[in-house]
Amino acid sequence: MLASSWIRYLLGMTLFLGREMVWIMGLNRMVAGLVLLSVGWGCQTTPPLLSLRPQPDIEREDYPRMLNRWTRKDEVFDGIYSIMYVRSTFHAPEFRRAFIERFPDAYGRGSEEARRITLANPEAENHWEFFLTASTPNQRLNDLADADSVWRVTLRADDGPWVLAKVRLIKSTDNLKVFYPYLSPFASAYRLEFPLTSLEGKPIINGQTRHLRLRISSALGVAELEWQFVPEGRISLPSS
């Protein structure tokens, strides 16, 4: 009789402690979720509104700040799995000025390596240019410059047409990493070129542009990077 009473007592305590542990574990998960959510809220930042009119007093020391201002990132997912991680810097007039100010530090004036990037080349005025890095777990998918690539790279300003990019693979060098520190050993580097005008002859980007979206898309997923601008009215931009 005594033994059976002890057994019932132990079973009861086990069930009670089990319910308490389940409740405590659930509470811990809820608290952890709230902490992560609050941290996420606290870390959210709104990208700055940009200007297509360069600041008049840009110096070489401003380059890191300009790089951060004009760089965006995004990721392509298949369910919970990452397929591609991309970063891109828009070579807007302001960024080009900062680049040219710091340009001699890594390349030396007139070097062959410098001309490959075209940022310091007058030909850079003949198109809109972006620098892009892409990392993929499956290296076969990192083929943005291939003629038969599964990826389509396009650009759109406001509600205008999507314009197809001319994509070129760039050799990663130590000098290149000086200007784009986010270029990792596992990423491929690309130069994206877009015409100044659409097929209809209209400027792709002008002084009234508010949003610029760069899209890397395929049947596997889509990455979209966005730059927002303060409308400037009539300003001097590259023209065809």
Question: Looking at the chain, how many residues does it have?
Answer: 240
Q: pLDDT band at residue 202, thresholds of 50, 70 and 90?
A: confident
Q: What value does the mean pLDDT of the chain take?
A: 77
DSSP string, 147-174: TT-S-EEEEEETTS--EE-EEEEE---H
Range in 77-86, 115-124, 142-151, 200-209 the model is least confident about: 115-124
Q: What is the pLDDT of residues 52-69, one digit of tens each?
A: 877 778 888 899 999 999
Residue 226 scores a pLDDT above 50: yes
pLDDT above 70 (res 206): yes
pLDDT at residue 173 is higher than 90: no
20-29, pLDDT tens digit by residue?
443 333 434 4
**Cβ contact 142:209 at 8 Å:** no
Query: Are the C-beta atoms of 193 and 91 separated by less than 8 Å?
Result: no
The C-alpha R_g of the chain, in whole angstroms, comes to 26
Instruction: Report residue 87's pLDDT band, with 50, 70 and 90 as the boundaries.
Output: very high
Alpha carbon of 116 to those of 88, 107, 173, 184, 191: distances in Å?
Answer: 18, 11, 12, 19, 10
Which of 28-32, 143-147, 202-206 is modeled with the greatest confidence?
Answer: 143-147
Share of the chain above pLDDT 90, in %: 43
Q: Evaluate if residue 210 carries a pLDDT over 80.
A: yes
Q: What's the mean pLDDT in 127-135?
A: 95
Q: What is the mean pLDDT of residues 75-92?
A: 93
What is the rounded average pLDDT of the residues 148-160?
Answer: 94
β-bridge mates for residue 226, sequence order: 213
Are 181 and 102 in contact by the 8 Å Cβ rule? The answer is no
- pLDDT of 37 strictly over 70: no
Q: When comparing pLDDT for 4 and 97, which is higher? A: 97
Cα angle 62, 68, 72 (rounded to 5 degrees) comes to 155
pLDDT at position 215, please? 98
> Sorting pLDDT into bands at 50, 70 and 90, what band is 82?
very high
